[in-house]
Every structure is written in structure tokens, then in C-alpha cells.
Structure 1
Amino acid sequence: GGTCSRSLNKSGIAALERQIFDFLGYQWVPILANFLHIMAVILGIFGTIQYRSKYLIMYAAWLVLWVGWNAFIICFYLEVGHLSQDRDFIMTFNTSLHRSWWMENGPGCLVTPVMNSNLAPEDHHVITVTGCLLDYQYIEVVSSAMQIFLALFGFVYACYVSKVFMEEEDSFDFIGGFDSYGYQAPQKTSHLQLQPLYT
């Protein structure tokens, strides 16, 4: 139980960290996904502390979806197949331009604004980013890969702990229960018919 709880805590901290950077980049779809994951982690922690196997099973089921989501993020940033980062609506519900926070704030990145550019829509600006030690898409890929690793680790432990909890529930012996050692059948007693005494 303690190891599973620590694993859930690490997963929650990693998701919270990612949530902060997605907020800074106004990526609304990942923000929603991260929020659901944080709620699932809280549910998993509660299930571990309260010995509720059903909550751990729900958490494990969510982790399957979480792995799929992070696999999609990896494919999106690597532009696998027909996926393209130019499709802003995928990450922002089409409310703003999609931009990873790491695009401008990655290690070693130098941002230069392009003035009087006709490429920028209203309320937006065009920039050039140079000198990055690691491109933003690879930072996002590494972040998603770490989430997948933590999710797989958490899935194994959630399944194991929930199995242990269910076995303990099945073998639980109630006080004065009906196990083979404690139960004794009531002894049969003969009924005596009472008759009045006359003196």
C-alpha cells in the first residue's frame, strides 16, 4: 500500500507540473486532460488509504486512457501520419493559436519578434526562435514519455494492490463468524412438557 501511494504521489506531482506549463501555453485540451488525471490520482490515493479496491480499479482503467492520450501527444508533436502542429484546434478547442510554452522558453532559446508581419492574425505576433539546445517538440515528447512510464508503473501497482485488497475482503473473518473452527451448531435440547402439581 505504501509503495503504491508513493507511486501515485509521483504521478500526481508530474501531472501538476505539466498542468502548469500547459496553462502557460494556453493549451486547453491538455489542461482538461491533466485535470482529469489529477482527479484520478486523488481517487487512487483515496482507494489505497481506505482499502477500496473499486477505486483502484477505476484508477487503473483511467490509466489506460491516459497512456493513449500521451501516445497521441507524442505522435502529434512528431507529426506522425496526418497529424500536424498547424492544426490549432486540436489543443485549444480552436479558441487561440496553439503554442507550447517551451517553444519560447526552452533551454538556450533566443526569441526575436518579427515586426509588421502580415502573417500574424489580429492579437498575435510572429516570432523567430533560434539557438535552442533542445527543440520544444522533443521536450513535450519526453514529458509524455515520462507520463506513460509512470502510468504503466502505477497500473501494475494499482492492479496488484486492488487484488490484495479483494483477497483480504474475501478471507475476512467476522467476529463470531461461520468459519470451520469457530462455528458450533446449536445443541438440541429436549422439550419437557410442564404439568401442574396438585397437593
Structure 2
Amino acid sequence: MGYTVWAAAWVAWNVFIICVYLEVGGLSEDSELLTFSLSRHRSWWREHGPGCVHKELAAGAPVPGAGCALEHGYVEALHSALQILVALVGFVCACYVLSVCTEEDSCLRK
């Protein structure tokens, strides 16, 4: 039962992440919603996305997003969509196990 609640919350969180990175409904990755104003958020995919070239400035800081095949926001959205798919499969499996256990009462016996 706990897993079904967690999976539903995980789906909701990943839908929120998709909306932030695709800037749906006035949300933006530049807002402080993801970090609760506690830190400066930077997407890992900005520098390590598919096809990104690691160029460094004279100060040794990497240039974010140089030559990436996909923008980091799209990669974040695809990553969250995959997380939603996995959570939905787990949610369906958990609901099936719950229905079998409640019908047969065999899961509740010790």
C-alpha cells in the first residue's frame, strides 16, 4: 500500500519537473522552486548531455552546453518521462498485488 502512494507522488513530482524544464504554465528552471532558495541549481545534463563537448575557459570552468545534441531541458524532460513510465508500471503491479492479497486473504496471514 505504501508503494502505491509513493509511486503516485513520484509521478506527480516528475510531471512537475517536466513542466519546469519545458516551461509549461509559467514555470521556469530559473525560478527557485526546485531548490527552495537553498542553493543555485544547475542541471547535470547541461554539461554531460548527449554529444556535449567539454570546453574549458581560461579559468578552468567548463562551458555549459557546448555542442550538445539536445538541450538539457529536453533531456531532463525525457528522463522524467522515463521515471513516470517506470513508476506507472510499478503502480500497476502494486495494485495487482494488493487486489490479490485482499481477495484471498493469504497475504495477511503470518
Map 1:53-92 to 2 at 5 A: 57-87=1-31, 89-92=32-35
Cα RMSD after superposing both structures:
2.4
> Which of 129, 147, 153 lines up with 2:83 in the alignment?
147
Could you tell me the percent identity over the aligned residues?
49
Q: CA deviation at 1:92?
A: 2.2
Map 1:127-166 to 2 at 5 A: 127-166=63-102
Aligned length: 106
Give deviations 1:26-49, integer Å, cap 9, x for gaps: xxxxxxxxxxxxxxxxxxxxxxxx
> Which of 94, 99, 123 lines up with 2:37 in the alignment?
94
Change (3 A) 1:126 1:108: closer
What is the TM-score with the length of structure 2 in the denominator? 0.81
Which residue in 1 is equivalent to 2:46? 103
Alpha-carbon separation, structure 2, partners of 1:141 and 1:128 = 18
Query: Structure 1: any 5+ residue segments left out of the alignment?
Result: 1-56, 117-124, 173-199
Query: Structure 2: any 5+ residue segments left out of the alignment?
Result: none
Q: CA deviation at 1:135?
A: 1.7
1:70 maps to amino acid: N
Q: Which of the pair has the greater relative contact order for Cα pairs under 8 Å at 6+ separation?
A: 2
Q: 2:46 touches 2:71 (CA, 8 Å); kept in 1?
A: yes
Q: 2:47 touches 2:64 (CA, 8 Å); kept in 1?
A: no
Q: CA deviation at 1:91?
A: 2.0
Alpha-carbon separation, structure 2, partners of 1:147 and 1:126 = 28
1:59 maps to amino acid: Y
Could you say which structure has the larger radius of gyration? 1
